[in-house]
A = this chain, B = another copy of it.
Amino acid sequence: MQYEWGPNIEQETETNTLAAQTYNKIRQDIISGSLEPGSKLQSEKLKKQYDVGSSPLREALTQLAANGLVTSEGQKGFRVVDVSLKELRDITKLRMHLEVHGFKESIAHGDVEWEVAVTSAYRRLVHAIEELSSGKSGSARSWEDIHRGFHLSLVQGCGSPWLISFCHRLYEHFERYRRIYVEYREISPKILEEHEALHQAAINRDADLAEKLLSEHILFAARLTEADARKKGIQDGGEIIAAAEQEMELIK
């Protein structure tokens, strides 16, 4: 969150403290699902696994806890935060609300720098899709990073560092659900089309279209995730109706 130099991408700088490196590694492992939801994070095991001492590890876990990827109870250590359909829906609704708001603000107030950033992110996305479909997977950044980069670029121009940081956090948690539950599919032409449309809406500054496209895009991803999560037997939060779908009605 910085105001002097304008809105920025949340620091991904390779901070060299052990604690920061460990934070990134564990974060990756939680989002990718290799550290399972609800599982206990025992310090001794983690110290061996990530080859660090107590202090950096503890610092990493504390940070993760503050970001909501880990829970920390009293004197009982840390756990990977649990998952539920209820929370998936909550995250989805709020993502729709905030990202759409941020996107429209970007469209209203974003400067040329923002347009350039969106286009760059879009080009990287296209490039990554081409590489993936042609087999060679050797891109520097991962598909996940590039995809996140595009979505966050849309709100990057809104002028509100706070809103941007909230969108980051929500995206991160949403991504965890997707990576845990959605089984890999070929990247369909539909994906490319949707992102192209979003890019166009941004460049054309078409706020209404932007709202419609982004809402649908997020909701579609959420539906897919929820469907696959059900198959794999995620615990239901106890509700029947996907509240996010109601929200959609308002848009149509």
Using CB atoms and an 8 Å cutoff, list the residues of chain A in contact with chain B.
1, 3, 15-17, 19, 54-55, 58-59, 62-63, 65-68, 74-75, 81, 84, 86-87, 90-91, 93-94, 97, 101, 159-163, 165-166, 170, 237
Contact = CB atoms under 8 A, between A and B. Distances in A.
A94 B17 contact: no
Contacts of A67: 66
Nearest to A163: B94
Nearest to A60: B62
Contacts of A94: 160, 162-163, 166
Contact of A59 (B59, B81, B162): B59
Contacts of A63: 62-63, 65-66
Contacts of A162: 87, 90-91, 94, 170
B15 A74 contact: yes
A16 B86 contact: no
Contact of A3 (B55, B84, B160): B84
Contact of A62 (B59, B90, B163): B59
B97 A101 contact: yes
A55 B93 CA distance: 38
A16 B75 contact: yes
Nearest to A93: B160
Contacts of A90: 3, 159-163
Given A66-B63, A66-B67, A93-B160, A17 B101 contact: no
A165 B81 CA distance: 15
Contacts of A1: 68, 81, 87
18 contacts: A1-B81, A1-B87, A17-B75, A19-B62, A55-B55, A62-B63, A62-B66, A63-B65, A63-B66, A66-B66, A66-B67, A87-B161, A90-B159, A90-B160, A90-B161, A91-B162, A93-B160, A166-B166
Contacts of A54: 55
Given A63-B63, A63-B65, A66-B67, 5 more contacts: A1-B68, A1-B81, A62-B62, A63-B66, A90-B159
